[in-house]
Amino acid sequence: MFTDWQAFRAAFLNQLQSMHGKSLEEASPEDKYTALAVMVREYISNAWVQTNKHYENKGEKQVYYFSIEFLIGRLLGANLLNIGVRSEWEKWLAELGIDLNQLENEEPDAGLGNGGLGRLAACFLDSMASLQLPCHGCGIRYKYGLFEQKILDGYQVEHPDNWLKNGCMWEIRKFDKAVQVKFGGTVWSEEKNGKLVFHHDNAQTVLAVPYDIPVIGYQNSTVNTLRLWSAETVQEDFDLLAFNQGNYVKAVEYKYSIESISEILYPDDSHYEGRVLRLKQQYFLVSAGLQSIVRRFKKKHGSILDFAEKISIHINDTHPAMAIPELMRILMDEEGLSWNEAWQITKNTIAYTNHTILPEALEKWPVDIMKSLLPRIFMIIEELNKQFCSHLWSHYPGDWQRIASMAIIADNYVHMAHLAVVGSYSINGVAKIHTNILKQDVMKNFYHFYPYKFNNKTNGITHRRWLLKANPDLARLITNSISPSWIYYPQYLSTLLRYSEDAAFLEALDKIKETNKMNFANWVHNKYGITIDGSSIFDVHVKRIHAYKRQLMNALRILELYTRLKENPNLEMVPRTFIFAGKAAPGYFLAKRVIKLITTLAAVINNDSTIQGKMKVLFLENYSVSLAEMIFPAADVSEQISTASKEASGTGNMKFMMNGAVTIGTLDGANIEIHEEVGDDNIVIFGLTAKEVMNYYQNGGYRPWELVQSDTRLRKLLDQLVNGSLPVPREEFRVLYDSLVNSDEFFVLKDYAAYVEAQEKIDMLYRDNSRWNKMCLSNIAHSGKFSSDRTISEYAIGIWKAKPVVIGDILEPY
């Protein structure tokens, strides 16, 4: 659009002036950020409109990805990159004395997700647009994202994440597209012309207002939409309460109770809690989303009976599973279809991804709550359950046990995973092993009944954000070596293997890692005043804090290594910097104690001069997408040490690999497929297999106490948690000690010796610099498979039957 710097400069200065009434000299970094964001918006506005027009006119199948979380992070940098102007604008801004990176840092992270599931949804959006697929996101516009984590006295403290306080530069409020969502009240029916007609009286009506965010494809003119819904009062309801009854305070209270629906993201990661507000959020999302989809569909297409051919609705875990009864409700009560017609359409429209097998994460809602909050939805679920159970009965006559284990409603609960399986045409796991566990274990009865529905789609990450954007030096080296094709076809990264024996290339790789580590070390120094050794191994464990992810195992090994180093200051070891980051759910006591343990180790170790800086421990506050973008490029070692069978896939493992870090990990989730790609020599695998773990579980676990009794080293180590040798009250870590010694549900002690050995292997491998660089190269070269472009192509072909739509070359701004 801008032919030269002059034109760019004029537009930028004009934007500053019209938006902020300021000259360049007066403008703050935030002013400059917003001005630049508006320029990006204008740049893509035409393409956005044209993309929607194309989709409407061509009538291709549309896909809607429903998710309670979209962890999109910052958009300015990624948008500039996808538009294809980043380096040029960066240069031009520099000529104006402006550092683009600084402007990017002005943008608050959109932290509308907890962890893997939410970030996956964001990576998927990027791939959908980049592959020119007509696929859109549908979510909630939380006023507060995931809490901001501060570390105070070594403990996690939560602060509200008021990410919208200065507004969001990317959203467009579409008030004319608002829809109404109904809660509570009573439902009654009457027969009219031989048909049952349902009426919903005394319901509380909530206005769902959409905010659209553009999702820009990589240099292809496709601009898809992420639609986020916000809850507001229906104006008349508010006025009625406030003025007609003269009860202003009550009216304001009412307003807050409605708006609370989209107020805050629940900070639970893999732990289900039956909160009414959460159920409201789920229904709010699916009802608003489906109403707007049906409305748009009817505008363009003749018969609603074609709905399933033209629309796929993907539900990201069970959180949006009420899309099933809600679509039934809309098709029957509003479109006048029969039960059977509605059912045919619904079960051919919805596809479901499962993201976890942890029993405590499986959602089940008490019947009472659902019945009173969503009376019509509950009626439909009840009928579905009745029909499904009688269907089962005819297949498995007399097999009560099996039928009870599969029922949608059982023991006074609605089992959301069962609802999702029955009401969808596709059910996928997120890594090979996870899908196999679903088929053979967690959902084996369902797999027996519906074998054709189950399939695997191994997760992926967008290589554009996680390599091209996060690690520009590495991206440049790759492009200069093998051409930019890898950006479009990430599997092409494998051609890098031809440099496996090229000393100059390996050297260049090494240099880039070194620079990234130095940059990171400088950032740490500026922010925390801690000095870390850029030539030490950066050993990184970043993810949500959870017992199954075993940060505790890593911490124990750090404690042991430190103790050994104290005893023998001349211990041969490559200096290491242990880097942790991650949030614990606010109510997850044990996870919070693990944070305290790590910060305590950091306080002791970082201040002990007798170990000559051979070890440092960092716990970085407030893990977020932006922080992650700084960490992955600087990592040497990727900790992926979950108890085998527990991590459905993991996606951090892929981000590390793509940035040339070497994995130390268990045979769990996608680690298995990473191992398959890079082979034994380029990854360090240790520990129990999923089969072994599951065998233990089936036989009542193992007896950790006996292990501790027979292992002096382990006993001594564990004693250090509770014998007063750490500078905390003596009982501080008793709960951690007890959890290990009494049950050790996640096999920390059982796997400990193997883990220590694997870590020693890492130390040994790192000493051989050229061998290590080859390992890094192998990881980068084999990371193409883990691009979400591959994953999304598989969804598009195998599940959605969606085809790319070419928009043409219209990225033209004004």
Could you list the active site residues? 355, 543-544, 549, 651, 655
138 contact partners, CB below 8 Å, separation of at least 6: 64, 65, 66, 67, 226, 227, 229, 285, 289
Other CB atoms within 10 Å distance of the CB of residue 395:
11
Beta bridge partners of residue 618, listed in sequence order: 579
Give the DSSP per-residue string, 774-810: HHHHHHHHTGGGGBHHHHHHHHIIIII--------S-
* Residue 21 zone, left/alpha/beta (φ > 0; ψ -120 to 50; rest): left
CA distances from 573 to 514, 613, 615, 754 (A): 19, 11, 10, 18
Min separation Cβ 414 and ligand 26W, Å: 14
422-451 residues in contact with ligand 26W (CB under 6 A) are: 430
Work out which of 67, 130, 225, 270 binds ligand 26W, going by CB under 6 A: 270
Min separation Cβ 649 and ligand 26W, Å: 4
DSSP letter (8 states) at residue 334? I
Kindly write out the interface string for residues 456-485 of this chain, putting x where it contacts ligand 26W by CB under 6 A and - elsewhere.
Answer: ---x--------------------------
Q: Which is nearer to ligand 26W, 437 or 478 (CB)?
A: 437
DSSP letter (8 states) at residue 743? I
Q: Which residue has the tokens 């007063």?
A: 724
How many residues touch ligand 26W under the rule CB under 6 A: the total is 23
**Token output for 251:** 């009216």
Q: Which is nearer to ligand 26W, 122 or 781 (CB)?
A: 122
Q: At residue 220, what are phi and psi to the nearest 5 degrees?
A: -140, 5
The answer to whether 375 contacts ligand 26W (rule: CB under 6 A) is no
Work out which of 161, 636, 639, 647 binds ligand 26W, going by CB under 6 A: 647
Min separation Cβ 553 and ligand 26W, Å: 17
Which pairs with CB-CB distance under 8 Å and at least 24 residues apart come from 162-165?
163/108, 163/109, 163/110, 163/111, 165/108
Min separation Cβ 65 and ligand 26W, Å: 13
Q: Which is nearer to ligand 26W, 225 or 282 (CB)?
A: 282
Kindly write out the interface string for residues 327-356 of this chain, putting x where it contacts ligand 26W by CB under 6 A and - elsewhere.
Answer: ----------------------------xx
Q: Which is nearer to ligand 26W, 93 or 581 (CB)?
A: 581
Q: Taking contact as CB under 6 A, which single stretch among the options 194-202, 265-273, 727-735, 741-749 is the one that binds ligand 26W?
A: 265-273
Q: Are 587 and 624 within 8 A, CB to CB? A: no
DSSP letter (8 states) at residue 360? G
The answer to whether 509 contacts ligand 26W (rule: CB under 6 A) is no
Element (H, E) at 448: helix 444-449
Q: Which is nearer to ligand 26W, 649 or 659 (CB)?
A: 649
Min separation Cβ 284 and ligand 26W, Å: 16
Q: How far apart are CA 599 and CA 602, in angstroms?
A: 5
**Token output for 116:** 């893997």
The answer to whether 271 contacts ligand 26W (rule: CB under 6 A) is yes
Q: Which is nearer to ligand 26W, 262 or 459 (CB)?
A: 459
Helices (H) and strands (E) in the chain, counts: 34, 25
DSSP letter (8 states) at residue 109? P
Other CB atoms within 10 Å distance of the CB of residue 159:
11
The answer to whether 269 contacts ligand 26W (rule: CB under 6 A) is yes
Work out which of 599, 626, 649, 783 binds ligand 26W, going by CB under 6 A: 649
650-679 residues in contact with ligand 26W (CB under 6 A) are: 650-651, 669
Q: Is 66 exposed, middle or buried (0-12, 13-18, 19+ CB in 10 A)?
A: buried
736-795 residues in contact with ligand 26W (CB under 6 A) are: none
Q: Taking contact as CB under 6 A, which single stretch among the options 268-276, 522-530, 708-716, 776-784 is the one that binds ligand 26W?
A: 268-276
Other CB atoms within 10 Å distance of the CB of residue 7:
12
Kindly write out the interface string for residues 296-325 of this chain, putting x where it contacts ligand 26W by CB under 6 A and - elsewhere.
Answer: ---------------------x--------
The answer to whether 361 contacts ligand 26W (rule: CB under 6 A) is yes
Q: Which is nearer to ligand 26W, 222 or 435 (CB)?
A: 435
Min separation Cβ 267 and ligand 26W, Å: 9
Which residue sits closest to ligand 26W, CB atoms considered?
A: 116
The answer to whether 574 contacts ligand 26W (rule: CB under 6 A) is no
Q: Which is nearer to ligand 26W, 279 or 470 (CB)?
A: 279
Q: How far apart are CA 596 and CA 604, in angstroms?
A: 12
**Token output for 323:** 């899309």
CA distances from 774 to 509, 538, 781 (A): 9, 17, 10
Q: Are 262 and 284 within 8 A, CB to CB? A: yes
Q: Taking contact as CB under 6 A, which single stretch among the options 186-194, 264-272, 629-637, 752-760 is the one that binds ligand 26W?
A: 264-272
Work out which of 125, 648, 693, 777 binds ligand 26W, going by CB under 6 A: 648
Q: Are 64 and 799 within 8 A, CB to CB? A: no
Q: Which is nearer to ligand 26W, 43 or 124 (CB)?
A: 124
Other CB atoms within 10 Å distance of the CB of residue 115:
20
The answer to whether 584 contacts ligand 26W (rule: CB under 6 A) is no
Q: Taking contact as CB under 6 A, which single stretch among the options 84-92, 150-158, 643-651, 757-765 is the one that binds ligand 26W?
A: 643-651
**Token output for 193:** 């012309």
Work out which of 33, 272, 632, 747 binds ligand 26W, going by CB under 6 A: 272
Min separation Cβ 137 and ligand 26W, Å: 15
**Token output for 81:** 């990159």
Min separation Cβ 587 and ligand 26W, Å: 12
Min separation Cβ 433 and ligand 26W, Å: 11
Q: Which is nearer to ligand 26W, 351 or 565 (CB)?
A: 351
Min separation Cβ 586 and ligand 26W, Å: 13
Collapsed DSSP state (helix, strand, coil) of residue 653:
helix
DSSP letter (8 states) at residue 667? S
Q: Which residue has the tokens 């170790």?
A: 605
Min separation Cβ 592 and ligand 26W, Å: 18
Collapsed DSSP state (helix, strand, coil) of residue 352:
strand
Q: How far apart are CA 810 and CA 814, in angstroms?
A: 11
Rounded (to 5) percent helix, strand, coil in the chain: 55, 15, 30
Kindly write out the interface string for residues 96-135 of this chain, putting x where it contacts ligand 26W by CB under 6 A and - elsewhere.
Answer: ------------------xxxx--x---------------
Using CB under 6 A, list all residues that contact ligand 26W.
114-117, 120, 268-272, 317, 355-356, 361, 363, 430, 459, 647-651, 669
